[in-house]
Amino acid sequence: MAKMKVVQVPKPGADFEIVEREIPNPGAGHVRIRVQACGICHSDVITKDGLFPGIQYPRVPGHEVAGVIDEVGSGVTGWKKGQRVGVGWHGGQDGTCIACRRGDFANCLNLKISGISYDGGYQEYMIAPVEAIAAIPESLDAAEAAPLMCAGITTFNALRHSGALPSDLVAVQGVGGLGHLGIQFASKFGYKVAAIGRGPENAALAKKLGASVYIDSKATNAAQELQKLGGATVILATAPDSKSMSELVGGLGLNGTLMVVGAGQGPIEASPIQLLFGRRSVKGWSSGIPTDSEDTLRFAELTGVRPMIEKYPLEKAAEAYARMMSGKAQFRVVLTM
């Protein structure tokens, strides 16, 4: 039997280990993907540290997968060997819960998550259910497509459902893994983009990515700066820091929305007065389903939006993960096979 390299977490909190496994065959309704690249996302900490109940170990993390179908299981239609595909956070739905019956697969009550519910992309081959896979355009590089499967779809999808219209003021909090993509998408959507970062060091980059204004939240009161610009229609909150999100609520314009995509610890605070007067709101948004991924990828292909990445070979997964956790990566870390 042919073997493959796998990076697994043997038990919650344990170090990564590299093992050899037999290359698995896809069951009914599944495909086998030869992985070309897998992004490392901060959410991989869920698998690494066992933050969700019921994760079965050993488990292979990874939900930013780009590769090629190399085998299809029985009953699979519409997908073929040799086709470029990706897998994101949405790893499949049950099809029977109340959300699925309403067609709201993103909110499936028994949502499967790749790299958490089943083995993800930190390996040379992975098995995925057909309802989890998205087609990748031919012109996109695998290592650049991978982060678009999570960081990309999250910012793209949140912005396009935010209610902001072209020429509206949209602020992006954080110039990091999510934020640097959010700024690009917001700019390409035709918004007036204000990027909010801590310290002056990201100002030039934010402008290069498409921001017309850079607000240093260390040096100024970011909410007041946004109000001077007329108030933000949408603030896309990407940095996982609930306190800094709370501080921005005062920067929302009339009918403005704080769109939360960064998963920080602790509560977000907004006073009833802030929300009542001006009908402001706080809304959460998680990534989306594979067709949303396809829209993200097509839009990126069309407009030139790309993640900034640092590549590591699969064997250096532990080092790559540590690099991501350090917060110093510019900006997405990607494992390549």
Query: Is 157 part of a structural domain of the chain?
Result: no
The reply to whether 23 and 140 lie within a common domain is yes
Is the pLDDT score of 286 beyond 90?
Answer: yes
Q: Do 95 and 169 belong together in one domain? A: no
In this structure, the answer to whether residues 169 and 120 fall within a common structural domain is no
Interior/surface letters 66-93, b for 16+ CB within 10 angstroms, e for the rest: bbbbbbbbeebeeeeeebbbbbbbbbbb
Domain that holds residue 244: 162-284
Longest CA–CA separation in the chain, Å: 67
Amino acid code (one letter) for 210:
G
Residue 22 lies in a domain: yes
Tens digit of each residue's pLDDT (9 = 90 or more) over 194-245: 999 999 999 999 999 999 999 999 999 999 999 999 999 999 999 999 999 9
> Residue 1 pLDDT > 90, yes or no?
no
Residue 129 and residue 32 in one domain: yes
278 shares its domain with 255: yes
HSE value, Cβ hemisphere, 13 Å, CA-based, for 61: 31
Please check whether residue 204 lies inside any domain of the structure: yes
The domain tally of the chain equals 2
Is the model's pLDDT at 279 over the cut of 90? yes
Q: 7 and 80 share a domain?
A: yes
Q: Is residue 156 part of a domain?
A: no
**Strand 65-72 and strand 30-40: pairing?**
antiparallel
Q: Mark whether 119 and 209 lie in a shared domain.
A: no
- Residue 52 tokens, joined: 């969700």
Is residue 84, in this structure, part of any structural domain at all? yes
- Give a yes or no: residue 29 inside a domain: yes
* Residue 222, domain member (yes or no): yes
Q: How far is CA 115 from CA 206, 258, 281, in A?
A: 32, 29, 33
Q: What is the CATH number of the domain that holds 72?
A: 3.90.180.10
Span 253-263, pLDDT tens digits: 999 999 999 99
Say yes or no: 145 and 11 in one domain.
yes
Boundary (domain end) residue, out of 284, 309, 325: 284
Reported as a pLDDT band with limits 50, 70 and 90, residue 100 is very high
Dihedral pair phi/psi, residue 180, rounded to 5°: -70, -25
pLDDT at 264 over 90: no
3 confidence band (pLDDT: 50, 70, 90): very high
Residue 119: inside a domain: yes
Task: Note the pLDDT tens digit of each residue in 106-116.
Answer: 999 999 999 99
Cβ pair 66, 146 in contact under 8 A: yes
Per-residue model confidence (pLDDT) at position 126: 98
Summarize the confidence of residues 300-325 as an average pLDDT.
98
Average pLDDT over residues 43-65: 97
pTM metric for this prediction: 0.97
% of the chain beyond a pLDDT of 70:
100
